[in-house]
Amino acid sequence: MNLLDYVRILTRRGWIILLAMVITAGGAYGFSKTQTEVYRASQKVLLLPSRNDFGLSETLRILLRSYVEFLNTDAIAQQVIDNLQLDMTPGDLRSNATINSDPTTLTIQIDIDLEDGATAQNISREWGQRLVDWRNQANSELPREERIEAQLLNSSLGLHQPNTKVNVIAGAVLGVLVGGLIVFVLEYLEANILRRPEDVERIIESALLAAIPQHD
């Protein structure tokens, strides 16, 4: 098939692709509107070595994972629940929390996903404060040059789901693929139907000398 054949197919059946794209994109938009809104609050905690020493910094990078494990426990979750007087269990709270570390920036990020954005932000901040308090207590027993300080950075809050824009784009792409598949199947089923002189030439692999016009 040459370029003109593809143009002809798109001219004849392009509406199928457009219709499929509109249907799937519209379906994705409608699905997004039925989802419950969930907000994500993020709190970063910066870990600072007491001295600008390569060895201490490398040790801190190794310890970041242990700090994450310390925070991601029922005991810490219970402290957060008690301090904020939340009506949930540690297991419920932890199921809505994601805690990760970044060795390149020496930070730990606490993400809380809840329908109530304000509550999520309070929880993420309180959870980060647990690490700050723990480091302050540990530092009180260490020489100043061996201390690792923890400091709360700015928190953020945003709509986590539904992501309507991404859903609609994904739906539109799916519609184009489905529509293209339908067009391909239709063209395949009609591949042996002769409509134009070019179709005859393609079948007989020879030039067509003449054509008899069709009369009504």
pLDDT at res. 1? 56
CATH of 38-161, one of 3.90.1210.10, 3.30.1490.270, 3.30.70.1130, 3.40.50.150: 3.30.70.1130
pLDDT: which is higher, 109 or 16 = 109
DSSP string, 78-121: HHHHHHHT-SS-HHHHHHTEEEEEETTTTEEEEEEEES-HHHHH
Phi-psi category of residue 142: left, alpha or beta, with phi > 0 → left and psi -120 to 50 → alpha: beta
Nearest to 161 by CA among 198, 113, 109: 113
CA atoms within 13 A on the CB side of 188: 6
Per-residue pLDDT averaged across 40-52, rounded?
Answer: 89
β partners of residue 113 = 40
Q: CA torsion sign, 208 to 210 to 212 to 214?
A: positive
Q: Is the pTM of this model over 0.85?
A: no
Per-residue pLDDT averaged across 27-44, rounded?
Answer: 88
Provide the H-helix boundaries in the chain: 3-34, 54-71, 74-84, 90-95, 117-139, 164-189, 197-204
CA distance 196 to 111: 63
Residue 215 pLDDT > 60, yes or no? no
CA distance 25 to 170: 8
Nearest to 179 by CA among 26, 28, 23, 6: 23
Per-residue pLDDT averaged across 71-87, rounded?
Answer: 95
In tens, the pLDDT along 145-180 reads 788 889 999 889 998 888 888 888 999 999 899 988
* DSSP-derived 3-state class of residue 157: strand
Task: Give the pairing type, strands 97-102 and 38-49.
Answer: unpaired
Q: In which band, very low, low, confident or very high, does the pLDDT at 197 lie, cut at 50, 70 and 90?
A: low
Phi-psi category of residue 166: left, alpha or beta, with phi > 0 → left and psi -120 to 50 → alpha: alpha
Q: In which band, very low, low, confident or very high, does the pLDDT at 117 lie, cut at 50, 70 and 90?
A: very high
Q: In which band, very low, low, confident or very high, does the pLDDT at 193 lie, cut at 50, 70 and 90?
A: low
What are the CA-CA distances from residue 144 to residues 3, 50, 64, 132, 152 (Å)?
75, 7, 20, 16, 20
- Domain boundaries of the chain, sorted by first residue: 3-34+165-204, 38-161
pLDDT at res. 95? 94
